[in-house]
Chains A and B, each alone.
Chain A
Amino acid sequence: MIKIVKRDQPSKAIFFFTPVLAIFLTLIAGGIIFYILGFKPFEALKFFFIVPIADKYGFSELLLKATPLCLIAIGLSFCFKSNNWNIGAEGQLTFGAIVSGGVALLFYDQEGFFILPIVILAGAIGGMIYASIPAILKTYFNTNEILVSLMLVYVSKLILDYLVVGPWSNPEGFNFPETRQFSDSARLPLLFEGLRIHAGIFLALAAVVISWFVFYKTYLGFQMKVSGFSLKTAKYAGYKGKKMIILVFLISGACAGLAGVGEITGPIGQLHREVSPDYGFTAIIVAFLGRLHPVGIIFASLVVAITYLGAETAQIFMQIPKYTGQVFQGMILFFLLASDYLLFFKFKLIGSKK
């Protein structure tokens, strides 16, 4: 007989093993879904997870998609660690893109080394401004940050839509919903000839290093951890709760805003209607899959980025609908949460009584 027993304390080894288990289970479930849809499971999975990254170009695309996911997820991990549910990173990304795009448009006919830093900074500030709304409403008006940050996603996309269709649309653009091209000085440089991977990846890597330092080497990181476990304890310890809530939201807003900068000043070089294919929402999954650990998040962002590429490849080669990517993302999170059960409980074999 198998009995379920509560562990004395959560297992550390399993803490980092369950994400791998979750990915494995997602692959199995994905294979089953492909089979139901009438595809050969192994072939479909190959097209989904291996073919897209088999060459140099594919690998560059993988890094291109992983960059915003990693950046946003790092920011979100500040919020999630301290028990703040910012789920509106998509809106913060969009607003960051709007502000940095607006600044880039101011300099559209100018060149100069000073332009790019201003554009990047503008994106970070845009994201911070947008993230400060749910933070301030939460701290001073007791308003649920989940709903506010989510509502703001819809608002930001409508603001963007208004701008690119109306006042900011390219005067020579035949009414296409897009702005002028930014000047080359406002663009993040591409890293390799013929590939789309750009310097934004260094922003993501910098965020990884800084967050690791903050989480594990500073007093702030410790305070966040304590508040995450128990707000009461944090209060007794005399931590300034409100300040911290606002701080973590600002950090995560800045990261999302920077991801927005990367999206518009990288390969595209202009503002248009769809700045992000829901990177802000997908990054929530990345943050959890990476266990809110900077290094874990790097791996998680690569794994989840494949679902974006795989969905495209599978659509082209096998006519599998591209939304399969989202289905995979949802399943990864389901399986991850489910396998967390193993953190707290273990199965024990007990000799059957006869």
Chain B
Amino acid sequence: MIVDVNFVGLIIASIMASAVPLILASCGELITERSGVLNLGVEGMMIIGAISGFALMTVTGSLIIAVFGAMLAGVLISTIFAFLTQTLITNHVATGLALTIFGIGISAMIGKNFVGIPGKEFPVLFEGLKDTIPLLSPILFGHSIVFYFAFALPFITSYFLKKTKIGLIVRAVGDSPESASNQGINVRFVRYACILYGGAMCGLAGAYLSMIYTPQWIENMTGGRGWIALALVVFSTWNPIKILIGAMIFGGLTIIQFHMQAIGVRIPVQFLTALPYIVTIIVLVVISRDSRKIRLSTPSSLGKSFHKDN
């Protein structure tokens, strides 16, 4: 049997493309969680990013404004979360849920006028090199800039956390806010910054979905990816490089669906659609079973409010 290597390359590339939003959102949330904040609003921030990006692209016609606008929208919506959890010391879980419900509502409200409008073509890089190397060409070349950024992000994030001073501060705040505070670090400020950064990455992840991956606006188009991104952070045991592996697995599950249907495998389509969610549960069980390992890698103050009495 002859396997067309370029076809294999294309499948791998499509898996990577579907992993992009998961990588972006997870890496953003990872920084937020490393600072000790659990933001369950990922789904809400992503959907806000998706509609903002698409709406700005349609209205202004500028892709740059749209992409950065989506990130800004993510920042703005996460500011609500930051203000509530950090300044008003509210419960992280409840606030994150409110953010998701609110985000889905607002996005559908804005998106009403953008249903059915076709998207724009997003420019790709290195298109000319597409046929140069067998197998590798489709994987390496001809993707959007966001795609390349997403695959660089886990390494950048890892370097940031391990090797830079600011990264060290973020980890210190997440692992022991009291001692960080005693060292003169402004815990609240660091956490604000990490939440807003997470919002920006989730906004970008949403914009990737509505502008590049499936260029159109559909209500609820994130379809639970935000929650899978949250699960990926646990899966990675807060290690950005492992997010890459996890996101590829889930990207693969999404892509397999289409190919199974194309080959004509007689499995109900609903089962294939449910697969990523079921696998998420199984993976979470396997990872979390070793409670000691989880406890060692979880940021110690995750989800706990910190308030310095004035």
Residues of A at under 8 Å CB distance from B?
4, 6, 85, 87, 137, 141-144, 146-148, 150-152, 154-155, 158-159, 161-162, 165-166, 281-282, 284-285, 288, 321, 323-331, 333-334, 337-338, 340-341, 344
Contact = CB atoms under 8 A, between A and B. Distances in A.
B285 A141 contact: yes
Nearest to A137: B285
B218 to A, nearest CB: 14
A85 B103 CA distance: 20
B68 to A, nearest CB: 23
B273 interface: yes
21 contacts: A6-B309, A137-B281, A142-B288, A147-B280, A147-B281, A148-B281, A151-B224, A151-B280, A151-B281, A154-B224, A158-B273, A282-B101, A284-B97, A288-B94, A321-B109, A323-B112, A326-B102, A329-B102, A333-B102, A334-B80, A334-B84
A158 B257 CA distance: 14
Contacts of B281: 137, 143, 147-148, 151-152
Given A333-B101, A340-B88, A321 B285 contact: no
Contacts of A151: 224, 227, 231, 277-278, 280-281
A351 B231 CA distance: 51
B132 interface: no
Contacts of A154: 224, 274, 277
B88 A321 contact: no
B86 to A, nearest CB: 12
A337 B108 contact: no
B284 A148 contact: yes
B289 interface: yes
Contacts of B99: 330
A330 B89 CA distance: 18
Contact of A144 (B106, B274, B284, B310): B284
Interface in B97-131: 97-99, 101-106, 108-109, 112
A330 B109 CA distance: 13
A144 B288 contact: yes
Contact of B105 (A158, A330, A340): A330
A333 B94 contact: yes
A275 to B, nearest CB: 15
B102 A327 contact: yes
Contacts of A327: 102, 105-106, 109
Contacts of B13: none
B108 A323 contact: yes
A337 B91 contact: yes
A152 B104 CA distance: 19
A25 B105 CA distance: 18
Given A147-B231, A330-B99, A141 B288 contact: yes
Given A143-B284, A158-B270, A333 B109 contact: no
Nearest to B38: A146
A161 B269 CA distance: 10
A146 B98 CA distance: 14
B220 to A, nearest CB: 10
B182 interface: no
Contact of B234 (A137, A147, A165): A147
Contacts of A158: 270-271, 273-274
A162 B105 contact: no
A243 to B, nearest CB: 18
Of listed B98, B106, B109, residue having the most chain A CB within 10 A? B98
Contact of A146 (B93, B101, B105, B288): B93
A341 B83 CA distance: 12
A325 B109 CA distance: 10
Contacts of B274: 154-155, 158-159
A330 B101 contact: yes
B230 to A, nearest CB: 6
A178 B94 CA distance: 35
Interface string B77-91: 000100010001111
Contact of B227 (A6, A137, A143, A150): A150
Given A87-B97, A334-B98, A344-B89, 13 more contacts: A137-B284, A141-B289, A147-B281, A148-B281, A158-B274, A165-B270, A324-B105, A328-B105, A329-B105, A330-B98, A333-B97, A337-B84, A338-B84
A306 B214 CA distance: 36
Nearest to A165: B270
A328 B98 CA distance: 10
Interface in B143-170: none
B291 interface: yes
Nearest to A324: B109
8 nearest A-B residue pairs (beta carbon): A330-B102, A326-B105, A333-B98, A323-B108, A327-B105, A162-B270, A337-B90, A158-B270
B99 to A, nearest CB: 7
Given A147-B234, A288-B94, A334-B98, A325 B271 contact: no
A329 B100 CA distance: 11
B227 A338 contact: no
A187 B103 CA distance: 37
B190 to A, nearest CB: 21
Contacts of A146: 40, 93
B288 A143 contact: yes
B264 interface: no
A161 B272 CA distance: 13
B94 to A, nearest CB: 6
Contacts of B95: 334, 337
Given A158-B274, A284-B97, A338 B90 contact: yes
Interface string B271-298: 1011001101100110011010010000
Contact of B108 (A281, A288, A326, A344): A326
Contacts of A321: 108-109, 112
